[in-house]
Structure 1
Amino acid sequence: MATIEPTTRRTVLPGAPPFTVDDLLKFPDDGNRYELINGSLVVSPAPTPLHQRVIFRLQRILDDAAPPELEALSTVNVRHSDKDFYIPDLVVVPEALSESVGLMFAPGNLLLAVEVVSPSTKTHDRATKTAAYAAAGIPVYWRVEPDEGLTLHIYELDGDVYQEPTAYKAGTTVSLSSPYPVSFDPADLIGSRTATP
């Protein structure tokens, strides 16, 4: 019986560092998420099922609470400059704008950006993206930490930096007013769908 040796696939990316958004648009569709921070390439694998669960449930909560003129969208393109390009897990934007924006939003279009932290994105979501989103002027940033028993960290812009975040753990009701009034228990983002209160 023949033995098949595993092969290593390489993705050849066009362009050279520092990369630009134009370079990024030429990248292959290989299942990875490609982002740019000051021309440096950030590559993330496809999200885990837990990550997807948190994103989906939070999007439903945000969508149910949204006023008619706003909507929550997942994994949209956000271009801050020629060398800064992000793909937040969730955003809240004006609904009319989302119908006409095309391929990329500008940071000024976002009322909220959300990142769900995973093992491969911890450093970027906790530090790099926090600073980048503040510099881009995104007024509110939520960081969801599933590995902390699910904790929601809320950052609000103060000038060109975020204030120290407020943390909400699973098992407590979070009542927020920005980008619009919404209340939920962070535990709802990870618990079983069949669990009864």
Structure 2
Amino acid sequence: MTVTVFDHEGPWTEEEYLALGETSQRVELFDGSLHVTPAPTPRHQRISRKLGNILEAAAEVAGLELLEAVNVRLRPERVTVPDLVITVPVDLDEPYIDAADVRLVGEITSPSNAATDRVLKMHYYATAGIQWYLLIDQVTGTLHLYRKHFNHYVEESVAKPG
């Protein structure tokens, strides 16, 4: 990140956020504030790659697209970077995917971001209208699949390692 991030005064706009470009850190926009996390660990990335490989074939059969670590615009001034998303076909050159095009969003929790994924982002994704939320606990290896019910998620199924 450049020094301009630290010199910035006041809330961040979506245009300013997108002007940051690609970084080695994960930078998200939460209602005018930047949420910055370090680059994922190798364990996190291995889980993401393996899960993506499994889900991609099924997504393609259904005419959907699996993408990893892309900007998802939930509403103006709220852009997250989920670990993976399954979308309808989208313009791959656009700076973000609109939440209306997302069918499933997946987050892999890390000890440093577990509360954000389990509470804040879960709420944000549900209110944005994303039907399915897949939460992977990298410490226990447990997968939790949630289905949107009104403006929140209800756990649909749980899969444990093995």
Task: Give the corresponding residue for 1:61.
Answer: 54
Task: Give the corresponding residue for 1:154.
Answer: 145
| Whole-angstrom distance in 1 between the partners of 2:30 and 2:37 | 13
Whichever structure has more strand as a proportion of its residues is 2
2:29 corresponds to which of 13, 32, 36: 36
Question: 1:1-197 counterparts in 2 under 5 A?
Answer: 11-13=3-5, 15-27=8-20, 29-66=22-59, 67=61, 69-95=63-89, 97-99=90-92, 102-148=94-140, 150-164=141-155, 166-171=157-162
* Secondary structure in 2 matching 1:113: strand
Q: CA deviation at 1:68?
A: 5.1
Task: Give the corresponding residue for 1:180.
Answer: none
Would you say the 8 A contact 2:103–2:130 is kept in 1?
yes
| Whole-angstrom distance in 2 between the partners of 1:145 and 1:110 | 21
Task: Give the corresponding residue for 1:177.
Answer: none
Would you say the 8 A contact 2:25–2:36 is kept in 1?
yes
* Secondary structure in 2 matching 1:12: helix
137-146 or 67-76, which deviates more = 67-76
Moved over 4 A (4+): none
Task: Give the corresponding residue for 1:176.
Answer: none
* Secondary structure in 1 matching 2:12: coil
Would you say the 8 A contact 1:37–1:84 is kept in 2?
yes
Letter paired with 1:92: I
| Whole-angstrom distance in 2 between the partners of 1:106 and 1:58 | 22
Q: In percent, how many aligned pairs have the same letter?
A: 35
Unaligned runs of at least 5 residues, structure 1: 1-8, 172-197
Q: CA deviation at 1:98?
A: 4.1
| Whole-angstrom distance in 1 between the partners of 2:91 and 2:50 | 21
| Whole-angstrom distance in 2 between the partners of 1:20 and 1:30 | 18
Bigger Cα Rg? 1
| Whole-angstrom distance in 1 between the partners of 2:29 and 2:98 | 14
Unaligned runs of at least 5 residues, structure 2: none
Output one character per residue of 1:41-61: Cα deviation in whole Å (capped at 9) or x when no partner: 210111111000010011110
Q: CA deviation at 1:164?
A: 3.8
TM-score norm. by structure 2 comes to 0.89
TM-score norm. by structure 1 comes to 0.74
When the two chains are superposed, the root-mean-square deviation of aligned CA atoms in Å is 2.0
